[in-house]
Every structure is written in C-alpha cells, then in structure tokens.
Structure 1
Amino acid sequence: MPTRSLSRALAALAGVVLALGLTGCDLAGKDAPGGAQPTPGTDAEVRVPAYFVGHTPRGPRLYLEQHDAGGSDRLTAAAEALLAGRPRDPDYRSLLPRGSLAGTGRVAAHRTGDRVTFSVSVASHRWTRRPHGLSREEARLAVQELLYTLRAAAGDGSEAARIEFRLDGRAVPFLGVPSGATAAPRVRTLALVNVLEPDDQAVVTGDTISASGLADSFEAHVPWQVLDDRGRRVLNGFTTAQGWGTRLYPWQASVDISSLQPGRYTFLAKTSNPSGREGFEPTEDTKTFRVS
C-alpha cells in the first residue's frame, strides 16, 4: 500500500526577516520552525508560528503550533493567529484577551546591536491594567506568549528580545506588566516536549505516520506512544532529538501503523524521566489522528 507521510519537514531554523524594520538582519530562530516565506506584496498563504499555553508538571508552559495565514507580513500574520485564540490543539489556550491590542498591523520591530525590540499598540487604557481573573503569573506568561510568537515569526532565536507596549505614542504597561519586558529563559517558559506533526485531527490513509517536534529531554531520549480511543497503548517506541540540555532540539519519528484498525488514535511524545530522579514527572504533548 502507498505510504503517506503527514510530516511537513521542520522548516529551516534560520528565518530570513522580511520588511519588518529589521533591514539587513538575518536572525536565526532555534526553537521555532518558520515555514515558507511569502513573496513581498502578495497574499500567499504561509504557515506561521503561534505559541499557546498548556499544562505541564512544572506548571503552565508555552507550546508551539503552526498556523496557515495570508499576507506578506509575518509579524502581522503570526500575531493575528495568536490573538484569534483558536489553537488547533484543544489542550492549549491563549491568555491574551481578545481586543486588547490596537490592530496587529501596527506591530513593528527594530534591531539594535544583538537585541530585537518589538513595538505593539495597546487598544485602550483598560488593557494597561491586569484584568480581573488574570493572575500576575498569567499576565507575565501572556506577554511571553506574544513575545515568543513575534520573535519566532521574525526568525530571531536569541535571548536578547524585548517587547514595548505603546498607547498614543507613549510607553505603557500591558495587563499590568511594564513595557520593555524581555524574553524569559526557554527552560522556564517552554514546554520541554512539543509535537508539531501530525496536525491535531489529521487523517491518515497509508501505513506510516511521520511525527516531528521539539524537545529538551534527558540524553536526548524522546519516548513516544500511540493510544487507542480508550487510552490504551497500542504502539510505542522512542526517537532521539538532535541535542539536549540547553534549549529545545528537533526530533523526528516514523511510526508503522499498518497494524491499526480504522479509528481514532492519539500520538503521545514525552520527555525521558531518568531513574532515581523523584519529583520530575515527564512533560507530554499529544495529537489525535484518524486512520481511515
């Protein structure tokens, strides 16, 4: 039978920045596959990054998704995908309140030395304060959600990124977080494993499914499982990421599903939990798919 791979190869981890005020800069995005680049001035559909919040044993962390969007401005397209608040994976959510920014078309970026700064317009004074029901920790993570998304869209992988919030031309807080916030360290902000492919709710017609993602797992060991619709493990194995210990590294796995009956399944990847290290539960990420 023909084999159908659901994997779109992890896009180059170095992005070419388009006309976003980053003239002459080539910024390498280590943790954010960027997808195809559109031709300036066109509305070609591209795949852009968006970071959403999910639960982990270490608390809420950011998970990366890729979204299809139109337009030639990657910053605008990525911010719109994020602020729409519609992650593909139902396990994720966005902490950014809808309508809190004054139009993603007003996102700007500039680079000074080794730092990239994003400038975003706040919709009104209402959003300079932390809204009821949003904790301080959630407000800070919401800002990181936006900052990580814009940095990935710009192709910048350095830690030296910051975001400024403006209203009527003046620097203002956003959700109670002061303007000028910098990117928090990856190891305290990102989920330690992230499944990028297959897309959630993908339909498989062949004998093989190709999975891929990012991880920072002990000794680069990334275990995976396939679960049936009752949560029972029907397949399992492991793959090896390209590194471990300092950031998230790409991994890929080719899974033979020829033994599976038609139906709904879940692909699960997790971090390795070395023996003897109590209190460190593995981080997991899942994607559902259907075998037809």
Structure 2
Amino acid sequence: MSDDPVREMLREVADGVEPGDRLDAIRSATSGGRRTSRGWWATGGVALVAASVVTALALTTGGTPRSEDPDPAEPTPTRTTATNGPRPEQEPRARPVYYLGDTPDGPRLYREFRPLAGDPLQVAVDAAIGRGQDDRSLAPLDPDYWVPWPETTWAGAIVDYDEGVIEISLAASPFAGDPETDLRSRGTLSQAEAELAVEQVIRTAQAAVQERLPVRFLLYNEITDQVLGVPTSEPLAEGSDLEVLAHVSLSDPSDGATVDNDDPFTVKGLGNSYEGNIVTEIQRHEGVVEIVQMEPAIAGTYEDKLFPFEVTFDLTDVPPGDYLVTSRTDDPSGEARFHTDSRRITIVD
C-alpha cells in the first residue's frame, strides 16, 4: 500500500478501481450529525479532498442583507436558497480578507483585497485560512502579512438566517496526525495570535456577507467548546477595532501594482491616529533609499473604528523603478511607535 493515501486513491480512480473503505473513512472524518434548521452543511476545502473521487455540493441559504457594512461599501453578494443551489461568481472580484501582521503593539489584523471567484463567503474564508480554490496553499499578496492557521485546515462556510449566525465548520486532513486535537489547541501560536486567528475568520466572514452577524464555530460539523484554544461554545461577535486591527491599513494600491507616472497616483486606506494624522510616503526601493514624495492626510481618532483617508501623488518627475508606498500613524510620545502598512509598486513611463 502507498504511504500517501490520497495519492493512492487518485491512482485507483485513474485505474477505474473503487477506493472503497478509505473514501468512507474520509467521509466519516469530515462530516458530523449536526444539521441546521435548513438541513444543509456547506464544505469548502473538505469537499476538495474528496473531489477527485466524488462530487461535493456546497449550498448557501438566501436572505436580504441589512444595511450595516463592516467594511467600505462592497457589491452585495448574490445569495440563493438551498432549493435553487449556489450561484458562485464566475469572474474574480476583489474580496476583503484579513491577515495577521506585526505592529509595535504586537500582532494585529490587516485587510487585503483579493481577486477571488466563487461563492463570496466560502472563497473569502478559504483565503483567510490560507487555502485556494484549487486546494493549494494561498499566501497573502503582501509578504508582511501571514496566515496563522495550520496548513491542513479546511473550512465550510454558510449563513443560517433562521438563527441569524454565520457558521464556520472547520476540519483538518484525516492524514495529518490527530486533526481534531490540532484545531482545538493553539499549538505553537501565542495566545494573542490564536485569538487573532479566530478574529481573522470572523471579520473576513462578516465582510463577505456585509453583515456583522455573530459567527458560530464547529469542528467536523459539531459545535465545539474551543478552536485554537479560544472558547467557542457560543457564537462570537467581532472584537474592538482598536484592539484587534492595525491602526492603519491600505486598501489601494495592491501589493506589486504597476503605476504609470503620467497618471495621478491615489493611495486609499483606513486609519486611526493621534489627531487623525496619517502620513504616506513613496520611497525608492532600489539603489539609494530615499523618500521621493510625502503627503499628509486626516483620518480620524478617539472613536473605536478606523476612518477612511486618501492622498493623491503627481509622479510626473518620478523616474521609473521599484518603490515602496508606506502609510503610518502619528506618535506624540516620540518613541516612534508607528503603526504602518506598505505596498510595493513599480513605476513605469
């Protein structure tokens, strides 16, 4: 027998052989007896494991979104009933996904807009745990961000409008040691990182459905008392913005963007800073490091939220090359405890 059960099953499919008991083992390892009042459970990455030998159907319920929006206005995702089946987006669209990054105050969450096609909730949650639609690892576009979840993690995501919650059902590869224990404990993560990992999925899911619904976590389709060591017996709401989010987060440009120096260059983001001050710099990223342009902006302060800001640069006299765009908060203490977010860009003629 092969040392790799998944590879062995794929070989059996190619040879026209029924995989038999091992497929049953995968099904039993990734499904449970719990059902919502609508009688369905959507699987994300779990379905991808069995996709080589069976077809998994992911369903999402219908409903009318309220006007609350945890992020800047995004197109309202299409929702369908279980009867009609899902209508995933066929073309990639920018979806907000939260990742961890470092700040002077420890790890915080940063938001990144990812081009993703498919069911808006499912693909966003998949990206948050580091998994692409092809079942491969999916890293953040910005190398300063990172995914805290174990690489073997899969997630199914649905909205239960009867109970008014988002359900995230987690699972792990049945070939990865003791997967349930792996997802119940925080492993090598610090307590702060584990709590942010859970918060990361909550905020990504809420942004996808554009409602601040509480999030119920399940393991193998059953309610669990903890995920990554974080208590999850009851549905969880999002935490305080200023306690879990980096105090500055760029929305545009995306990391690695190409910018024409003949056109105005606009930087957009969210921030909360002393007296609202946010400074954005363009710094040469090759050769002699120097700041070529700088623009201040006023976002907001005091309230437990991030405020939008926007600055526009004239790049006419900036030569082509690689640059780093950085926005930072103010720090009246003089200790340089700035929260920053940056994007790499290439300026062309």
Which TM-score bucket, shorter chain as reference?
Answer: 0.7 to 0.9
- 2:272 equivalent among 206, 210, 216: 216
- 1:118 equivalent among 163, 167, 170: 167
CA distance in 2, matches of 1:122, 1:108: 15
Task: State the SS of the aligned residue for 2:231.
Answer: coil
Instruction: Tell me the alpha carbon deviations over residues 217-274 of structure 1, each in whole angstroms, 9 at most, x when there is no partner.
Output: 2232211111112432111111222666320111111111111111111111111223
Partner of 1:16: none
Residues 168 and 81 of structure 1, relative CA distance in 2, 3 Å threshold: closer
Residues 197 and 273 of structure 1, relative CA distance in 2, 3 Å threshold: same
Alpha carbons 1:222, 1:240 under 8 Å: kept: yes
Partner of 1:7: none
Partner of 2:42: none
Shift of 1:33: 4.9
- 1:24 equivalent among 64, 71, 74: 64
- 2:197 equivalent among 122, 142, 153: 142
Report 1 or 2 for greater relative contact order, CA contacts < 8 Å, sequence distance ≥ 6. 1
5+ residue gaps, structure 2, are: 1-58, 80-86, 132-137, 173-178
> Which residue identity does 1:31 align to in structure 2?
D
**Stretch of structure 1 that moved more, 32-41 or 262-271:** 32-41
CA distance in 2, matches of 1:234, 1:116: 48
CA distance in 1, matches of 2:114, 2:169: 21
Deviating beyond 4 angstroms after TM superposition, the runs of 4 or more aligned structure 1 residues are 35-39
CA distance in 2, matches of 1:41, 1:226: 38
Alpha carbons 1:43, 1:70 under 8 Å: kept: yes
Residues 117 and 81 of structure 1, relative CA distance in 2, 3 Å threshold: closer
Partner of 2:149: 96
> Which residue identity does 2:74 align to in structure 1?
G
Alpha carbons 1:74, 1:154 under 8 Å: kept: yes
CA distance in 2, matches of 1:283, 1:146: 22
Task: State the SS of the aligned residue for 2:153.
Answer: coil
Partner of 1:67: 114
Residues 209 and 35 of structure 1, relative CA distance in 2, 3 Å threshold: farther
Matched pairs, number: 265
Residues 176 and 87 of structure 1, relative CA distance in 2, 3 Å threshold: same
CA distance in 2, matches of 1:41, 1:264: 37
Question: Are 1:109 and 2:159 matched, yes or no?
Answer: yes
Shift of 1:200: 0.9
Question: Are 1:282 and 2:338 matched, yes or no?
Answer: yes
Task: State the SS of the aligned residue for 2:114.
Answer: strand
Residues 136 and 67 of structure 1, relative CA distance in 2, 3 Å threshold: same
Shift of 1:139: 1.4
Question: Are 1:204 and 2:251 matched, yes or no?
Answer: no
Residues 199 and 25 of structure 1, relative CA distance in 2, 3 Å threshold: closer
Shift of 1:192: 0.3
CA distance in 2, matches of 1:36, 1:209: 28
Residues 20 and 257 of structure 1, relative CA distance in 2, 3 Å threshold: same
Shift of 1:126: 3.1
Rg comparison, structure with higher value: 2
The alignment's C-alpha RMSD in Å is: 2.6
- 1:53 equivalent among 85, 94, 100: 100
Alpha carbons 1:31, 1:214 under 8 Å: kept: no
Alpha carbons 2:180, 2:219 under 8 Å: kept: no
Partner of 1:256: 314
Question: Are 1:77 and 2:123 matched, yes or no?
Answer: yes
> Where do residues 147-226 of structure 1 align in structure 2 (5 Å cutoff)?
147-156=202-211, 158=212, 161-179=214-232, 180=234, 181-207=236-262, 208-226=264-282
Task: State the SS of the aligned residue for 1:234.
Answer: strand
Shift of 1:89: 0.6
> Which residue identity does 1:245 align to in structure 2?
E
CA distance in 1, matches of 2:244, 2:62: 25
